[in-house]
Amino acid sequence: MAFDPVLLSRLQFAFTITFHIIFPSFTIGLSAFIAVLLARHAITGRSQDLELARFWTKIFAISFAMGVVSGVVLSYQFGTNWSRFSTVAGNIIGPLMAYEVLTAFFLEATFLGIMLFGAGRVPGWLHLTASIMVAIGTAISAFWILAANSWMQFPVGHEMREGIAFPLDWLRIIFSPTFPLRFAHMVTAAYITTAFVVVAVGARFALAGRFPDHAKTMLRMGLGLAVVLVPLQILIGDMHGLKTAEYQPAKLAAIEGHWENEEEGAGVPLILFGWPNQKTETNDYALSLPHIGSLIVTHSWAGRFPSLKDFAPADRPPVPQVFFAFRFMVGIGFAMLGFVAWGVFLWWRGDLMRNRLFLRIAANVWPVGFLAIISGWMVTEIGRQPWVVTGFLRSADAASPLTMHTVLVSLALFVLVYGVVFSAGIYFINRLINAGPTPHVVGAETGLPSRPLSGAARSLSD
């Protein structure tokens, strides 16, 4: 594999967006969780809910800051590494990004300070309202990002003039055919990811015998959310697969490792395991189930869908990466379902806080949501290749005219800086979790920290 500037630019974008996607997906769910805790406190007056809200708000502050930092880097890369993409698709992508700033970012910026530092300093209703507005803002941000990405997956509502896309119908651009289910899939994944982090922290406290009432609340709320959303996510994923088959058949064929069309009535097998061989255009060591591929993709016993050989080799995505990332994501999804079912059964039996095996496993489930999101994002983005904008702009034609050394140096710097910044962030988050929820309220006379990280750091020393 030759390290040309385009490949290095792709690696750089993949590296930075993999880090970035962790934090928005966490803060989308966490902001909603904090708003629910504050609403419960407003209704019941339980101090425990307010303490938990403050505890998670500190963690939200660090996660939100790292999400903003890593997101800014991505927008710069459009200009530095992908200038031709900006030229060709900028008339579409630019306004969509601007809409995100005008709606989501302004909403978050207006209420974030009240949410982070307003507890005990502003009326409770205002603090709750600010938290709800921030939660709505994070979801709106996801709306615009997914709208832009969905248009790149299946562009509609525009016309090409001398190789440049011009918008004709903004509603068609924003609500392109793959957008609704893609948005639902992403937001649901964000809430599930947060639910598993909350469950893990609750289990950690329960095992240590610390904050037992807070631990019980976190375990119940996390499991309660997951038991609804995990099955729903599997259903949304199935519906999203049908849309992928309709609008991105090459990606779907790569997901299934489906190289050749079957005879009429024979049905497409489901490849449980195999090694897609792009040279021989077959799956080595394949273990398959007859007809099940047809059943999943077309919802019929002998349904057919396009194979990889229906597309020119130059128009096919990299098959092994998409094939394995999809199976990893689905495997995590069903493992989540089994874990949640076990937890709910223990809850029903009244053993949720007593079963040490379950609590030990639960204390370590926090990364599974992040891993599922990253693998799902790999399926989405690698599966779109070789196109940046499907049908009219390939990745090789979208990159800036940079030298290999220029991109290599910037990639190395990103790895170094991200390593330092994110290690510090994870260190602070772990310290906050170890400190646990506290009833202490910062008084107005002690002054306000000037930055979110300052507020989180000061809370450790209180």
Residue 180 located in a structural domain = yes
164 with 149: CB under 8 angstroms? no
Per-residue model confidence (pLDDT) at position 332: 95
What is the total residue count of the chain? 462
- For 176-226, the pLDDT digits (tens) are 999 999 999 999 999 999 999 999 999 999 999 999 999 999 999 999 999
Residue 188 located in a structural domain = yes
Residue 112 located in a structural domain = yes
* Residues facing residue 158 across a β-bridge: 167
Q: Reduce the DSSP state of residue 433 to 3 states and report it.
A: helix
Residue 449 located in a structural domain = no
216: exposed, middle or buried (Cβ count in 10 Å: 0-12, 13-18, 19+): middle
Tell me, rounded to whole angstroms, the distance of Cα 241 from its chain centroid. 17
pTM, entire model? 0.89
Per-residue model confidence (pLDDT) at position 462: 47
Tell me, rounded to whole angstroms, the distance of Cα 165 from its chain centroid. 28
Q: What is the dihedral of CA 424, 365, 325, 28, to 10 degrees?
A: -60
- For 366-375, the pLDDT digits (tens) are 999 999 999 9
Number of domains in the chain: 1
Task: Report the distance separating Cα 188 and Cα 123, nearest Å.
Answer: 31
Residues 6+ apart with CB under 8 A from 262: 268, 304
Residue 298 located in a structural domain = no
Taking alpha carbons only, the member of 144, 183, 191, 141 closest to residue 32 is 191
Task: Report the distance separating Cα 251 and Cα 41, nearest Å.
Answer: 47
Per-residue model confidence (pLDDT) at position 453: 54
Low pLDDT (below 70) residues in the chain: 1-3, 439-462
DSSP annotation of 122 reads S
Q: Which domain holds residue 232?
A: 5-258+305-435
Per-residue model confidence (pLDDT) at position 139: 92
202 with 226: CB under 8 angstroms? no
Residues 6+ apart with CB under 8 A from 194: 26, 28, 29, 30, 32, 33, 369
Cα distances (Å, whole numbers) of residue 40 to 28, 47, 131, 416, 424: 19, 10, 13, 43, 33
Residue 266 located in a structural domain = no
Per-residue model confidence (pLDDT) at position 21: 87
Residue 406 located in a structural domain = yes
Residue 53 located in a structural domain = yes
Per-residue model confidence (pLDDT) at position 445: 46
